[in-house]
Amino acid sequence: MSRQIVLDTETTGLSAETGDRIIELGCVELVNRKLTGKNLHIYFNPERDSHEDALRVHGISNEFLKDKPKFAELAEEIVEYLQGAELIIHNAAFDIGFLNKEFQLCGRKPVKTYVENVIDTLAMAKEMFPGKRNSLDALCDRLEVDNSGRTLHGALLDAELLADVYINMTRGQEALLISDDDSKDKNASTVRVAAIDFSSLKLQVIPASDEEIAAHLDVLKQIDKSSGGKTIWQTTQAD
């Protein structure tokens, strides 16, 4: 079973290292690339006010958060939910940095201790669409994901949109992947293509008729004449 968690956070500002905190966590669960409906959505009391710029992005007021639980109170529930999953995050360094800081403040280990792997969809998008805008909104437009309800950033809504974006970005890959538990490297991102045995496949050979061969040779002569006798097949034959 392949279990993935698409994750997003909203924060009081841009720097966990200078004291900004998580105010909202939104997680969407995928099992074998299908939405399960087992989501996790929590608002937190960050014990500080949001910066004005952050308020304009997420619109979550300081007053609204005052009676919400502190991160430390729900850390165990969050760890249990994330345990063993592969995380899918847009601009993963930002969210992982904030989660690591929150875990540190309540005496817990970094996020990657609890999860299988982290996929950064921003890095994926930059590879797939070099030189283009790769914000979540831009990817929704490019991949035809309906984001008309996204007037402000919200962690759960953004996680739901990112789940659709990720599935569209990787559509078709599941047919190419094979598991190889004995030689699996958790840090590798190599796509392996399943080998297909053609040894028992018998193809019918249909030879060209005399008329088809003559018509083919006539076309080759015309091409050679147009090139002034410089066609590759003529040069090869002369050698």
SS3 48: coil
* Same domain? 23 vs 141: yes
Based on the fold, state whether residues 42 and 83 are members of the same structural domain.
yes
Distance (Å, whole) CA 40 – CA 85: 14
Residues 124 and 213 in one domain: no
234 lies in which domain range? 204-239
194 found inside a domain: no
Given 41, 51, 90, 153, which residue is catalytic?
A: 153
153 catalytic residue (yes or no): yes
Rounded Cα distance between 200 and 193, Å, is 20
pLDDT in tens, 153-187: 899 999 999 999 999 999 865 444 434 444 444 44
Same domain, 116 and 51: yes
Does 48 share its domain with 134? yes
173 vs 22, residue with greater confidence: 22
My answer on whether 169 and 222 are in the same domain is no
Please check whether residues 21 and 115 belong to one and the same domain: yes
Q: According to the per-residue pLDDT averaged within each range, which of 120-124, 178-182, 205-209, 212-216 is highest?
A: 120-124
Residue 172 sits in the same domain as residue 217 = no
The CA angle 104-99-16, to the nearest 5 degrees, is 80
Domain-embedded: residue 191:
no
d(CA 55, CA 139): 24
Q: Name 118's Cβ contacts closer than 8 Å, sequence gap at least 6.
A: 86, 87, 89, 92, 96, 111, 112
Q: Are 210 and 174 contained in the same domain?
A: no
- Between the two ends of the chain, the Cα-to-Cα distance in Å is 59
- The model carries a pTM of 0.71
Considering the domain architecture, whether residues 170 and 221 belong to the same structural domain is answered as: no
Structurally, how many domains does the chain consist of?
2
Residue 207 has pLDDT above 90, yes or no: no
Same domain, 110 and 209: no
In a domain, 97, yes or no: yes
Do 146 and 30 lie in one domain? The reply is yes
